[in-house]
Amino acid sequence: MIYVCVPSHNNARTVGLLLWKIRQVFGSYPREYQLLVANDGSSDATAEILKSYLDVLPMTVLEHETHRGYAATVEHLLRHAVRLTDHPKRDCVVILNGDFSVSPSVLPDLLKGLESGSDVVVGETPAPRSWGERVLRRASPWLLRPGVHLPGVRDLLSGACAIRLVTVKRCLSDRKQQLLDTNGIPARAELVARVASHARQISTVAFDPQALRRDTGTRVRPMSLAMQLYRTGRTLSIPPPDVAVGRVS
């Protein structure tokens, strides 16, 4: 089973299209899948849009009455998937952002990495258009050191990844309390680093430029995010993985 996990907060403009695109992808790439969508205290029409898809998609909606943030929402989704699975060594989760910043067209590439034996597959998005975001992308591995260090992974911030559920279980068992100590975009990097430290095989996949959507409404402030990543790298202390990172061709 493939559990497609979608954290969503005020994504009424994009989440419906995202769900429909996921359905189209699995129509041409037949795999057994379940959508897990967390509505994280949205104040727009996200709840109504999700409700309209319940009868046409294999989907479960997790509702948060108040906004908990990205990290707590992703953890809720991962724990729910772990509770559902009967075959954690075979089943997996794929995380896609509710803002449609990465198209579901990347799903086959992420799953190909798992089918090749990886426990964690990290999606790497094309270089951003703006100069500031390009500089931030190149600098992010340095900014995140020494606390978050994954040699061979060039993009820790895409938020799109696939993880075998047995690896998620190991990570949750190791953490005991909350899974992630950061929030927002830095939590994307922290999540990858934490599951990678429990993985026996890790790979990355470079997304096609067409998979990156520019009109999501999400705005990144490079200087502010750079400071967040810098603090993350000096606050966390996550052991780097013992295995080399491969690439999905």
Q: Does residue 128 register a pLDDT over 90?
A: no
192 within 8 A of 153, measured Cβ to Cβ: yes
Report pLDDT for 215: 53
Q: Which amino acid is at 151?
A: P
Q: Does residue 161 register a pLDDT over 90?
A: yes
The larger pLDDT score, comparing residue 177 to residue 179, is at 179
Residues 6+ apart with CB under 8 A from 113: 121, 162, 203, 205, 248
Report pLDDT for 150: 92
Q: Predicted confidence band at 173 (pLDDT cuts at 50, 70, 90)?
A: very high
pLDDT digits (tens, 9 = 90+) for 33-79: 999 999 999 999 999 999 999 999 999 999 999 999 999 999 999 99
Q: What is the pTM of this model?
A: 0.93
Report pLDDT for 130: 77
The larger pLDDT score, comparing residue 189 to residue 210, is at 189
pLDDT above 90: percentage of residues in the chain: 82
Domain that holds residue 180: 2-247
Q: Does residue 216 register a pLDDT over 60?
A: no
Report pLDDT for 222: 87
Q: Predicted confidence band at 214 (pLDDT cuts at 50, 70, 90)?
A: low
- Total domains, the chain: 1
Report pLDDT for 213: 63
Q: Does residue 211 register a pLDDT over 80?
A: no
Report pLDDT for 210: 75
Q: Predicted confidence band at 118 (pLDDT cuts at 50, 70, 90)?
A: very high
The position carrying tokens 């080399």 is: 244
The position carrying tokens 């997790």 is: 62
The CATH number linked to 94 is 3.90.550.10
Element (H, E) at 143: helix 131-143
Q: Does residue 200 register a pLDDT over 80?
A: yes
Q: Predicted confidence band at 218 (pLDDT cuts at 50, 70, 90)?
A: low
pLDDT above 70: percentage of residues in the chain: 96
Burial classification of residue 83, based on how many CB atoms lie within 10 Å of its CB (0-12 exposed, 13-18 middle, 19 or more buried): exposed
The larger pLDDT score, comparing residue 169 to residue 176, is at 169
CA gap 93, 1 in Å, rounded: 9
pLDDT digits (tens, 9 = 90+) for 83-99: 999 999 999 999 999 99
